[in-house]
Amino acid sequence: MNKLDAQFAALADPTRRAILAHLARGEATVAELQRPLGISQPAVSRHLKLLEAAGFIETSRAAQARPRRLKPGGFEEARRWIEELRGLWTDSFDRLDAFLADSADGDRS
């Protein structure tokens, strides 16, 4: 699985999206993530492993704790792909607008 596939697979799960939203507010340990999610710590750890493999998060060390945080630039590849598609759609809509404007001008003649 390539990185982009791994990223979108990771984002497909609502629990992993909730974890990312929590980490967007600052780093957190497994225990800190587990409480609001209401799932077991091993389940949180599995989700974190997938998010780390996808390149979205990284682990830091603070004494014995291992807080996770968003990885700088971790969303860049997915963002670039989405922006590329958005550009294609924008171009298509611009061409449609021009076609409809030309058609409307032709109908008025």
For the chain, give every domain's residue range.
1-72, 75-109
> CATH 1.10.10.10: does it fit domain 1-72?
yes
For CA atoms 67, 25, 31, 41, give the dihedral sign: negative
Return phi, psi of residue 69, to 5°: -150, 160
Please answer whether residues 47 and 18 qualify as being in contact, where contact means their C-beta atoms are separated by less than 8 angstroms.
Answer: no
In this prediction, residue 108 carries a pLDDT of 65
In this prediction, residue 93 carries a pLDDT of 78
Residues facing 65 on adjacent strands:
62
Which regions of the chain are under pLDDT 50? none
CA 42 from centre of chain: 23
User: What are the structure tokens assigned to 100, written together?
Assistant: 């409809």
pLDDT in tens, 56-67: 999 987 777 889
In this prediction, residue 105 carries a pLDDT of 73
Give me the count of residues in the chain. Answer: 109
